[in-house]
Amino acid sequence: MVDIWPFFGTRPYNQDAKNLIAPSTDHLSIENIEIFRKNNYFNYLKILNPVGQLKEKDSLLEAKTHFNEMKDNDVIKKDDLLHFYIYQIELGSHIQLGFLCLASIKDFEKKIIKPHEKIYESRKIERADQMMNLNTQIGPIYVSYPKEKNIHDLLLSKIENPPSYDFESFDNSIHRLWCVNDLKFIDELKSFMKNVSAIYIADGHHRMGAMQYINKKNQLIEKFMIAAFPSNESKIFDYNRVIKDLNGLSKDEFIETLSNNFKVEKKNYPYKPTKKNEFGMYHENQWYALEFIGSIKNSNFVDTLDINILNNFCLTKILNIKDVNNDERVRFIAGCHGLTALEKKVNENLDSVAFSIFPSEITDVIKVADNNLTMPPKSTWFDPKPLDGLVVYEFE
């Protein structure tokens, strides 16, 4: 049983939403981030300070000053009434329909809200510092819930009306938002969500960890903002890898060793896996198809995931990468950038090698979470995603 609550959202008021929101920095180069910031004086990128770019001591003060400036100039405004916010995202032929609401930190601790990734302490504290600095959650935690017809029909009944916001974001995704304060709708949505046994974190594990951390420091903050979408509409792309070098091996030595557990076949085109246990590999201007032929002994479900097959039988065993998440030899490339992004990275450094991976499925994510297991870092790339700054939650 999942409890949810409406809230007083703070949202764009006297400015176009598309100029205020913070596009995912995974979609933007450092140069494009700076262009976006300079072209839009008021925007949330100045507040969020993309991780890894602004580490100065005064960055938190700058963020708080800009946030207050946005409020003082009525660029953003807090709603006077409690709302649920219906949220539709469209990218190409893909459409997903969900809603923004508050959920309980206690439900996360009781494993009603379930994670599938490990939460790292340093990243958790960094997110918590950002939130406590503003006393605000800028971006929702993206969750998936099992398909529920009553919820879907209820949301559909409201989107016949014109949305409050309707715009195209930086990545060409279309975002529409309906702000609903109708008490009957609020009661029905709360009631229908009580029929949902669990919801699953898709994206935002470190924000979730940060909210739990904040709650332990300040028991008055018990809720956090989520963007909830049905699992059958949550779209997952591949999350690929580029490794800086072959750990001292020649190309022939590497492929020979790899052949102990993979069938290796040259391809004359960029190779994208079409099923599980298949991988693409790019090295020295040559693409290969890899098919896993090894055996997994004493395995649990997580060991059979493609991402762990690659980790265990190649990255760790051959390339000597002990900690995929923190090894500086590893770069993660979201599948939305295509295989050309892998080629570009490898061509810049001919010692490197890239791997394209078959995308995880939402059923994998749910099975991992239900069994209290975790997937390796950067296993899933959910896209499109809810935007940071479309609706923000000022802690009450």
Query: pLDDT category, 377, cuts 50, 70, 90?
Result: confident
Query: CA 9, CA 3: separation in Å to the nearest integer?
Result: 18
CA-based nearest residue to 75, from 141, 135, 130, 21 = 21
Cβ atoms of 200 and 369 within 8 Å: the answer is: yes
What mean pLDDT do residues 350-366 have? 94
- Phi and psi torsions of 50, nearest 5°: -45, 130
Q: Give Cβ neighbours of residue 126 (< 8 Å, ≥ 6 apart).
A: 51, 206
Per-residue DSSP letters for 163-194?
Answer: PSEEEE-TTS-EEEEEEE--HHHHHHHHHHHT
Q: What's the residue count for the chain?
A: 396
pLDDT at 168 over 50: yes
User: For residue 7, how many other CB atoms are within 10 A of its CB?
Assistant: 21
- Residue % of the chain over a pLDDT of 70: 95
Numbered ranges of CATH 3.30.1760 in the chain: 239-358
pLDDT at 51 over 50: no
DSSP assignment, residue 388? B
User: pLDDT of 258-299, one tens digit each?
Assistant: 999 999 999 999 999 999 999 999 999 999 999 999 998 877
What is the separation, in whole angstroms, between the first and last Cα of the chain? 24
Q: Give Cβ neighbours of residue 193 (< 8 Å, ≥ 6 apart).
A: 2, 3, 4, 145, 151
Topology of domain 239-358, CATH? 3.30.1760
Tokens matching residue 30 = 């450092």
Q: Give Cβ neighbours of residue 267 (< 8 Å, ≥ 6 apart).
A: 280, 287, 288, 289
Tokens matching residue 42 = 């008021």
- What is residue 53's predicted lDDT score, i.e. its pLDDT? 46
Cβ atoms of 75 and 14 within 8 Å: the answer is: yes
Higher pLDDT among residues 300 and 224, named by residue: 224
Tokens matching residue 194 = 């009580």
- What is residue 348's predicted lDDT score, i.e. its pLDDT? 95
User: pLDDT of 181-205, one tens digit each?
Assistant: 999 999 999 999 999 999 999 999 9
Q: Which amino acid is at 205?
A: H
- What is residue 50's predicted lDDT score, i.e. its pLDDT? 47
What mean pLDDT do residues 37-52 have? 75
User: pLDDT of 98-131, one tens digit each?
Assistant: 999 999 999 999 999 999 998 888 889 989 999 9
| pTM for the predicted model, two decimal places | 0.90
Query: CA 307, CA 313: separation in Å to the nearest integer?
Result: 10
Strand partners, 85: 100, 179
User: pLDDT of 134-163, one tens digit each?
Assistant: 999 999 999 999 999 999 999 999 999 999
For 10, 11, 177, 268, the CA distances from 17, given in Å and listed in that order, are 12, 8, 11, 45
Higher pLDDT among residues 335 and 224, named by residue: 224
Residue identified by tokens 């979201």 is 334
Average pLDDT, the chain: 91
Residue identified by tokens 């933007």 is 28
